[in-house]
Amino acid sequence: QKEVEQDPGPLSVPEGAIVSLNCTYSNSAFQYFMWYRQYSRKGPELLMYTYSSGNKEDGRFTAQVDKSSKYISLFIRDSQPSDSATYLCALRASGGGADGLTFGKGTHLIIQP
C-alpha cells in the first residue's frame, strides 16, 4: 500500500459545481496536510494547509482532515474554468530535520464552461 493514495482522474464537472477532491493515507505520523495546485507546465503552488483534524475555509476552498479515518478532502465551491488544474495533496510528519513532503499522484480537474 502506498503512503498516500489519490485518484488521478480526470474529474470533469460543469462550471458552478461543487468539487470534492480526496486523499487517503496510511502513515499516522502525518500531522500537516496541504493541498497544492499545479497548472500545466508550472510548479505546484500552495492552496491551503491544515494541522491535525478539522476544517479550514479560505474563500471558495475548504480543506477537511479526518485523522481517525486517515482521509483528507478539498472542496471547491462555485467552480470556475480557471480552477482547471491538477490538485496534489501533500502530507508531512511533525518535527524538524528531514521533512520533505509526501505527495499524492494528483487529481486532474477540468471545469467545463
Partner 1 sequence: EAGVAQSPRYKIIEKRQSVAFWCNPISGHATLYWYQQILGQGPKLLIQFQNNGVVDDSQLPKDRFSAERLKGVDSTLKIQPAKLEDSAVYLCASSLVTSGANVLTFGAGSRLTVL
Contacts with partner 1 by CB under 8 A lie at: 4, 6, 8, 32, 34, 41-46, 49, 51, 88, 90, 92, 96-106
- H helix and E strand count, the chain: 0, 11
CB of 46 to partner 1, least distance (A): 6
CB of 15 to partner 1, least distance (A): 26
CB of 95 to partner 1, least distance (A): 8
Q: Which three cell numbers stand for residue 112?
A: 467545463
Closest Cα partner for 36 from 96, 98, 105, 82?
Answer: 105
